[in-house]
């Protein structure tokens, strides 16, 4: 009887560990998405002259925001 209790406890620990891993993955994804949105919004707020000074074109903004979010 005590042996079965130990197995259940170990199983519950593994489930909690998997749940924690899923939460961590979701948090990481949400943080990346927030960084992407913030970066894209900042870049889109620049006028064409400011973008040209940075050597950027409007068609490049999404890729740049994506790279910024996924390198962090």
- Report pLDDT for 14: 83
pLDDT digits (tens, 9 = 90+) for 42-62: 999 999 999 999 999 999 999
Give the number of other Cβ atoms within 10 Å of residue 43's Cβ.
19
- Report pLDDT for 40: 98
Nearest to 40 by CA among 62, 60, 59, 23: 62
pLDDT digits (tens, 9 = 90+) for 19-42: 999 999 999 999 999 999 999 999
pTM metric for this prediction: 0.75
Kindly give the interhelix angle for 61-71 and 2-44, rounded to the nearest 10 degrees. Answer: 150
The DSSP symbol for 4 reads: H
pLDDT digits (tens, 9 = 90+) for 2-23: 555 555 555 677 888 999 999 9
């Amino acid at each position: 009887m005590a042996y079965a209790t130990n197995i259940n406890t170990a199983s519950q620990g593994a489930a909690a560990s998997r749940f924690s891993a899923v939460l961590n993955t979701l948090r990481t994804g949400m943080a990346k998405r927030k960084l992407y949105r913030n970066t894209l919004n900042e870049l889109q707020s620049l006028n064409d002259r400011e973008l040209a000074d940075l050597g950027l074109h409007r068609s490049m903004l999404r890729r740049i925001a994506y790279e910024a979010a996924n390198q962090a």
